[in-house]
Homo-oligomer: A and B are copies of this chain.
Amino acid sequence: MDFIGELLGYVAGICTAIVFLPQSVQTIKTKDVSGLSFGTYVIYCIGMLCWIAYGIYLHSIQMMLFNTISLVFAAIILYIIIKNKYGRE
């Protein structure tokens, strides 16, 4: 069970890291942010910052790494949402 347990943790971490990769590629390509929730991406970025800080507290390199990658993708999407929804004259 130890191996399966640790494997689960890694698969979960990798999913967290890459979860917004397809969304950011799609949003960069289409610039279609009409269906995207501003609140969700704000909460996600705050959550990721907390997870990274919690990873520093727990001295967990994996938590810092996976959550930082995830934060980058979510921040790209949040930036495009802000630019498109609120940046227009």
In the bound complex, residues from chain B placing their C-beta under 8 Å from that of A9 are: 50, 54, 57
Evaluate whether A50 and B19 lie within 8 angstroms (CB atoms) in the complex, with A34-B35, A35-B35 already known: no
Q: Is the interface of A mostly helix, strand, loop or mixed?
A: helix
Q: How many copies does the complex hold?
A: 2
Closest 5 CB pairs of A and B: A15-B47, A22-B39, A12-B50, A35-B35, A23-B37
Q: 27 A–B contact pairs at CB < 8 A?
A: A5-B54, A5-B57, A5-B58, A8-B57, A9-B50, A9-B54, A11-B47, A12-B54, A15-B43, A15-B44, A15-B46, A15-B47, A16-B47, A16-B51, A18-B43, A19-B43, A19-B47, A21-B39, A21-B40, A22-B40, A25-B37, A26-B35, A27-B37, A32-B35, A33-B35, A34-B35, A35-B36
